[in-house]
Amino acid sequence: MTLPNSDKGLERVSTGVSGLDELIEGGFPKGRTITVTGGPGVGKSILAIHYIYEACKRGEKTILLATEETPEEIKEQASQIGKPFDKFEEDELLIIIPALRERMKEVEWRRGKTSPTFIFKNPIEIIETQDADNIIIDNLGVYTVDVSIGTFRNQMDYLVNTIRSKKMTSVLVCDETVDERYSRVALYSVHGAIELFKRENPFTGNVERLINVVKMRGSKTPLEYIRYSIDHEGIKVLETAKQ
Ligand SMILES: Nc1ncnc2c1ncn2[C@@H]1O[C@H](COP(=O)(O)OP(=O)(O)OP(=O)(O)O)[C@@H](O)[C@H]1O
Ligand SMILES: [Mg+2]
């Protein structure tokens, strides 16, 4: 039986990280939303840079909503791992929206309300007005202070549906605090979720970087954590899935 909205057989787009595509049946499902979560310094922004670089190389129009760093800082980080953004910006394939400033306005806007009902107002306005293939938000956490879990879930669903109706593929970077504050409910709204973390190997005593494919609808995903490294070329997946 084929389900009308089956996620199986969705077109895939490369994540830009060698070895990660293989863990999720060929890449991120096109036109869907994926979260990338993890603590500070695990490589969330670097993974986003890989995706952006690859998407622009395919000739896709891509928007990066940067809420934590300036466009200059992000471009510097991208260049440092050999994935310069300048040409893509020149060709108007990549638009980096410096949401740092908007974020401040948003906080002001929310302070004036007793019950914030539209926490992703800014990203949604951008998604609705821009015609792009991809939207990356780094980091979504900054939009999510002071709302109940129920409101957050509704607003996440609304954001994800808006992105989907525009047929954009979306990577939403979420820091650990949003994950903890909202009991990981963001993970239920989205199509796929990748978690990056560090852990001490009890046998070697060394700290390892690990990827957990929390979910990827319509894909066979590894049940084990997969080791990765970060170097001057960015993220490298060091293992394949065992089963
Ligand atoms: N050339 C390199 N060699 C080795 N490690 C590197 C190199 N460049 C970056 N890193 C590692 O990548 C980390 C930064 O990755 P990134 O900025 O993507 O983290 P993040 O998860 O986005 O963190 P945050 O939550 O602070 O935004 C650094 O802390 C460092 O450990
Ligand atoms: Mg970051």
Q: Is 175 in the pocket of ligand 1 (CB under 6 A)?
A: yes
Atom of ligand 1 nearest to the CA of 68: 27
pLDDT of residue 122: 85
pLDDT of residue 57: 98
Report the residue count for the chain: 243
pLDDT of residue 5: 47
* Mean pLDDT per 10-residue interval, the chain, length 243 residues: 55 96 96 97 98 98 94 97 98 91 55 58 90 96 82 92 96 92 90 97 95 96 97 97 82
In order of start, what are the domains of the chain with their CATH numbers? 12-237 (3.40.50.300)
66, 139 Cβ separation under 8 angstroms? no
pLDDT of residue 181: 87
pLDDT of residue 108: 54
pLDDT of residue 2: 39
207, 39 Cβ separation under 8 angstroms? no
| pLDDT (tens digit per residue) in 5-18 | 456 678 999 999 98
Q: Please give the structure tokens belonging to residue 79.
A: 């260049």
Q: Is 42 in the pocket of ligand 1 (CB under 6 A)?
A: yes
Question: For atom 29 of ligand 1, which residue has the closest CA?
Answer: 41
